[in-house]
Amino acid sequence: MALDFALDDKGILPDRMIAQLAAGGGILPSVEFQPDQIQPASLDLRLGDIAYRVRASFLPGSSTVARRIDELKLHEFSLTDGAVLETGCVYIVPLLESLALPDDVSAAANPKSSTGRLDVFTRVIADEMRGFDQIEAGYHGPLYAEISPRTFPVLVREGSRLSQIRFRHGHATLDAAALRELHARERLVDSDDADMGEGIAVGVDLSGVLGGGNIVGYRAKRHTGLIDVERRAGYSVLDFWEPMTARPDRSLILDPNEFYILASKEAVQVPPGYAAEMVPFDPLVGEFRVHYAGFFDPGFGYAGAGGTGSRAVLEVRSREVPFILEHGQIVGRLVYEKMLAMPDKLYGQGIGSNYQAQSLKLSKHFKA
């Protein structure tokens, strides 16, 4: 298939190249794409019509996912008319999209922002792959979503979009020098002394100035009703979330196994021609996990796309022990990559972007 770039070009495929890839047979949807499915630097992936509850999460290794499902499934059920996925269970759902990638194009998947903000743990797996969310160059075969709701039961159906996928040609991550140069031109974060290395350091805001009413974040309630992932602005915040107000010392104690929505201290932006991803700050700091959903499209927070800087919403879960967060404490790094070309549309430009110019914000399912 002919893609519109030179062999020595490196970067993430923009929207029109994703469309080219699909037109050339590199992406094989079993149902025609929806008009807004292709985003500036990614493709939304859709659930198929059947789900399998399995005994445990797995990686296929040298096997196929279908074979492992046969070995581990407890039962299967239809998603055609919708079905509830319960908390604490693991489900595998074949996706409506499969791949026949060229030998020089790889892919990486991530939960969509709304999925992460509901604490729905979602990963993409493929045949004979030894890692989650990573699709090797030249892969030909089906894709599957592993789904495990952690806090809220969710109602999903065939066509629901919980994950997104990016396509890459080569390696185009900006090193520290290139990142500093881009920051000097575009001011990637609203800080004069931004911590830059393998990405821009992002701290947590616990000052109470972002959420209104001195609110610094939200802690998820347990034993709530279910959430229909297709229903926008349909749920009361207080039915599902406990608002947390700022403390005088601007700290927050994370309780073990509780889920929090917080926001970054810095306002960030992703200029046209670049994409970004949130990655853990330091894997040795093992007490908490930040940001399940980490893709930032070109134009996120960008003034030319209606942003003027947007906060990164942080999905935070503590692990075995209580952990104290302090205002400004670094919790992640924003890693930038080049695009192969400028996308036709930027994030926030009439493509159903829910989180442009955001501050502290819950998922689109809750009433403002």
| Count of the separate structural domains present in the chain | 2
Same domain, 132 and 79: yes
The DSSP secondary structure of 178-201, one letter per residue, reads: HHHHHHHHH-SBS-TT--EESEEE
CB 206 within 8 A of CB 251: yes
pLDDT for 140 beyond 90:
yes
Residues 341-364: tens digit of each pLDDT: 999 998 866 544 454 545 788 999
Does 6 map to a domain?
A: no
Q: Check which CATH number belongs to the domain holding 195 and give it.
A: 2.70.40.10
Same domain, 145 and 286: no
Compute CA distances 168 → 145, 148, 203, whole Å: 20, 27, 28
- The conformation of residue 305, written as its DSSP 8-state character, comes to G
Instruction: Give the pair of three-digit tokens for residue 22.
Output: 């699909």
Q: Which residue has the higher pLDDT, 195 or 303?
A: 195
Does 278 map to a domain?
A: yes
Residue 177 phi, psi (nearest 5):
-65, -45
Average pLDDT, the chain: 89
CA-based radius of gyration for the chain: 20
Indicate the residue among 133, 150, 169 that finishes a domain.
169
Q: Which residue has the higher pLDDT, 243 or 285?
A: 243
Same domain, 113 and 199: no
Instruction: Give the pair of three-digit tokens for residue 223.
Output: 């034993």
Q: Which domain holds residue 301?
A: 176-338
| Identity of the residue numbered 88 | G
2-11, 105-114, 279-288, 350-359: least confidently modelled range: 350-359
Q: Which residue has the higher pLDDT, 251 or 279?
A: 251
Closest CA to 310 of 236, 238, 361: 361
Tally of residues, the chain: 368
User: Helix, strand or coil for residue 240?
Assistant: helix
Same domain, 275 and 256: yes
| Mean pLDDT within 189-209 | 86
The pTM score is: 0.92
Terminal Cα distance for the chain, rounded: 45
